Amino acid sequence: MSARSRLLLLLLLAILTLAAGGCSSTKVTESWLAKEHKEPRAKKILLLSLIKDPVVRAYFEDHFVAEARAKGYDVVPSHQLAPNATDMDEEEEVRRMIRESGADGVLVAQLKGVEKKHKFVPSRLDWYPDSFHYSGFYDYYYLNYRSIYRPGYIGADDYFKMQFRYFSPRTEKLLWAGNVQTKNPRSIPGTVTKIADEVLDALKGSGLI
């Protein structure tokens, strides 16, 4: 692994762990489905990631494919057929890759970056019941010490965003489009697994796989 690849992978790891203290969640935020499409459910899908760095691309595709296969879907990672992004610069090279994969569905994935949204968390005062039955100073002190004030503060949530597009190799038409975001991601493998679950469930629900 080159120094540049290691740096990019570490950068992606840093991005995905910015909000380790927050609540992580992944969902499809927007989606579109071609109306009255005639495509049968795909039996094999080619995962084509538009990620220039080969190490990051392979890392993402391998974790996505592992989750897909665990769910019973036959998904082929594009990096096994074209290890370098430059191998996909020409139309004929992409057509060759699709033919070699034997896929009847193509899922294109693209990183869209991270968006930080600030928020105000109001102050909070937690009260514990006071029975007024004190046997002495320390009983009184202990009961009232448990009344805790938490001042308000400005917080932030991080949203990791990806874009997915699903095409038919036969007609070359776009059949489904979806945007996925993960709020406060905690780890790379876990985030990719959740993204794969959401995208695959959406494709299944749309009758495409």
Lowest model confidence (mean pLDDT) among 51-60, 125-134, 173-182: 125-134
Q: Would the pTM of this model clear 0.85, i.e. be above it?
A: no
**Residue 144 pLDDT level (bands cut at 50, 70, 90):** low
Mean residue pLDDT across the chain: 83
Residue at 83 is within a domain: yes
pLDDT at 131: 53
Specify if 146 maps to a domain: no
- Above 50 in pLDDT, residue 48? yes
Q: H or E segment at 142?
A: helix 137-145
DSSP string, 10-51: HHHHHHHTTTTTS--EEEEEEEEE-TT--PPPPS-EEEEE--
Residue 35 placed within a domain: yes
C-alpha closest to that of 9 among 57, 49, 45: 57
Residue-number span of the structural domain to which 73 is assigned: 3-115+157-205
Residue 127 lies in a domain: no
Q: Using a pLDDT cut of 90, give the percent of the chain over it.
A: 48
| pLDDT, average across residues 66-91 | 90
Structural domains in the chain (count): 1
Residue pLDDT, tens place only, 27-37: 999 999 998 88
Summarize the confidence of residues 108-115 as an average pLDDT.
88
Distance CA 46, CA 90 (A): 17
pLDDT tens, residue by residue, 148-201: 666 776 777 888 899 999 999 999 999 999 999 999 888 888 899 999 999 999
Give the CATH number for residue 74: 3.40.50
Q: For residue 181, is it within any domain?
A: yes
